Amino acid sequence: MLPYPSSEISSDPAVKQEPRTHAPDKIRIVGGQELNGVIPISGAKNAALKMMCAALLTDQSLHLENMPNTLRDIDSQTELLTHLGCMISTERDLMAINAKNIHDLTAPYEIVRKMRGSILVLGPLLARFGEAKVSLPGGCAIGTRPVDLHIKGLEEMGADITLEGGYINAKAPAGGLRGAKITFPKVSVGATENLLMAATLARGETVLGNAAREPEIKDLGECLVKMGAKIDGLGTDTIRIEGIGALSGAHHKVLPDRIETGTYLVGVAMTGGSVRMQNARMEHLSAAMGLLSQTGVEIEQDGEDIIVHRNAARRLKGIDIMTDPYPGFPTDLQAQFMAMLTLADGASMVTETIFENRFMHVPELNRMGADITVQGHSAIVRGVKTLKGAEVMATDLRASVALVLAGLVAEGETVINRIYHLERGYENIAEKLRNCGAQIEKF
């Protein structure tokens, strides 16, 4: 018997998705404390959001475990799927989704604008119902972030797609989407996932070439396989999918969040101390861990945990980093590493190759005393002796957390405004850090 609520919609008010009213929107940090203790790592947001969309591919229930259910992005996806007609129940880190009674094939602007991950309903809706209308997405303001690769791929599978009034109107050909050989001109996480899901119910074989290889995509694929999908090549740049008539329900445990793990590893690198990250996988962070070791931080895997130590008396060494699709250095850790390098010895160069506008944390870090100069896609970070607490503004998800990390080591008090962004992607961040000795509170 699975440990899930017996009915799809729980009558227990404690498990309902309550709107967040009067929530605190600032964080105050008094810097200077080492981090020591244990941090439980949550399930990966960027896998969980996509698996929720995978539930649209079947009329049976999908049961997900290790879900980061307190995140705002999960709330947004829940709101969207509920709008479409899904029945969703949650309890602690469990979620059950049933898409038997879908009554609306439109993903409206009011919900989609909150989060780019909602574009991932397009492929599943089109594959199972033959049509979908999805607003062009919003999300973090880290560049123009087009969806042309998603659209072009679905067109290659026979879909007729028009853009009108800010919406993508998609229709499958008679008989449903057709398998196709699609080679992406650019590596895209979202486009790979959308087409992977769509292809599971298409007629014939789909081959995705130059596919993204992120662990979250592999995990999504493994969830789809449990639902009955026929997929080969997960984790490589060529994924083959043999479409079948219908998928079934399944039970899947979401993999640990490598970006949350990397964020706290960088936090300890900055403050000094020793922290055990529970349920974390080093193999998903190889590029980042290699670089972190070069700065002078000690990291080891211990069973399901990662332990990180740093002697605060020794200064970190500067390093150069360049973001790249997986297995390269993740763009989602660029801002956190930059915050760390503000205090490292010498000059470091940070080059962003994935998104064109992902240096919004730079002016805020400079307000805290950092010495960073941006030149095109690169930033030169000259290490300073100390950062100073200041009032700063969260601009996007990862930029916000970079400011939290900077606040943990800055002299005096840092106040971060608009923590809305932070709550999209970090479960209980203040509590997790406070449990390791940080002085941090929401207000």
CA angle 232, 237, 240 (to 5 degrees): 30
Task: Give 64 or 440: the residue with its C-beta nearer to ligand UD1.
Answer: 64
| Residue in this structure with the two tokens 């853009």, named with its chain if needed | 163
Q: What is the DSSP string of 333-396?
A: GHHHHHHHHTTSBSEEEEE--S-TT--THHHHHHHTT-EEEEETTEEEEE--S--B--EEE--S
Interface characters, 347-376, with ligand UD1 (x: CB under 6 A): -------xx---------------------
Q: Could you tell me which stretch among 35-43, 187-195, 335-343, 400-408 binds ligand UD1 (CB under 6 A)?
A: 187-195
Site for ligand UD1 in 311-350 (CB under 6 A): 331-332
Task: Give 99 or 147: the residue with its C-beta nearer to ligand UD1.
Answer: 147
Partner residues linked to 63 by β-bridges? 96, 251
Which residue from 191, 202, 338, 362 is in contact with ligand UD1, where contact means CB under 6 A?
191
Q: Could you tell me which stretch among 52-60, 138-146, 164-172, 298-306 binds ligand UD1 (CB under 6 A)?
A: 138-146
Q: Assess 183 for contact with ligand UD1 (CB under 6 A).
A: no
Q: What is the β-pairing status of strands 230-232 and 238-242?
A: antiparallel
- Rounded CA-CA distance 184/198 in Å is 15
Q: Assess 440 for contact with ligand UD1 (CB under 6 A).
A: no
For the packed helices 334-341 and 286-295, what is the interaxial angle rounded to 10 degrees?
A: 0
Q: Assess 116 for contact with ligand UD1 (CB under 6 A).
A: yes
The beta-strand segments (E) located in 41-143 are 61-65, 87-91, 94-98, 106-107, 131-135
Q: Which residue is nearest to ligand UD1 (CB)?
A: 190
- Rounded CA-CA distance 125/176 in Å is 11
Q: If DSSP codes are grouped into helix, strand and coil, which group holds residue 313?
A: coil
Contact criterion met (CB below 8 Å) for 246 and 58: yes
Which residue from 42, 58, 69, 188 is in contact with ligand UD1, where contact means CB under 6 A?
188
Interface characters, 139-178, with ligand UD1 (x: CB under 6 A): ----x-xxxxxx----------------------------
Interface characters, 274-313, with ligand UD1 (x: CB under 6 A): ----------------------------------------
Q: If DSSP codes are grouped into helix, strand and coil, which group holds residue 17?
A: coil
124 cis-preceded (ω within 30 degrees of 0): no
- Rounded CA-CA distance 160/141 in Å is 29
- Rounded CA-CA distance 180/350 in Å is 38
Task: Give 52 or 147: the residue with its C-beta nearer to ligand UD1.
Answer: 147
Site for ligand UD1 in 229-258 (CB under 6 A): none
CA 124 to chain CA centroid, nearest Å: 19
Site for ligand UD1 in 21-60 (CB under 6 A): 46, 49
Which residues 6+ apart lie within 8 Å of 72 measured at CB? Answer: 20, 114, 420, 423, 424
Q: Assess 186 for contact with ligand UD1 (CB under 6 A).
A: yes
DSSP state, residue 9: S
CA 221 to chain CA centroid, nearest Å: 16
Q: Assess 261 for contact with ligand UD1 (CB under 6 A).
A: no
Task: Give 43 or 383: the residue with its C-beta nearer to ligand UD1.
Answer: 43
Nearest-approach distance from CB 258 to ligand UD1, in angstroms? 11
Q: Could you tell me which stretch among 52-60, 74-82, 184-192, 375-383 binds ligand UD1 (CB under 6 A)?
A: 184-192
Task: Give 46 or 348: the residue with its C-beta nearer to ligand UD1.
Answer: 46
Partner residues linked to 29 by β-bridges? 414, 440
For the packed helices 215-226 and 45-54, what is the interaxial angle rounded to 10 degrees?
A: 30
Nearest-approach distance from CB 249 to ligand UD1, in angstroms? 24
Site for ligand UD1 in 196-215 (CB under 6 A): 212
Based on the residue annotation, tell me whether 140 is a catalytic residue of this protein. Answer: yes
Task: Give 61 or 323: the residue with its C-beta nearer to ligand UD1.
Answer: 323
Task: Give 213 or 310: the residue with its C-beta nearer to ligand UD1.
Answer: 213
Task: Give 137 or 389: the residue with its C-beta nearer to ligand UD1.
Answer: 137
Which of 53, 86, 140, 223 is flagged as catalytic?
A: 140
Nearest-approach distance from CB 120 to ligand UD1, in angstroms? 8
Q: Contact positions toward ligand UD1, by CB under 6 A?
A: 46, 49, 116-117, 143, 145-150, 186, 188-191, 212, 331-332, 354-355
Residues taking part in catalysis: 140
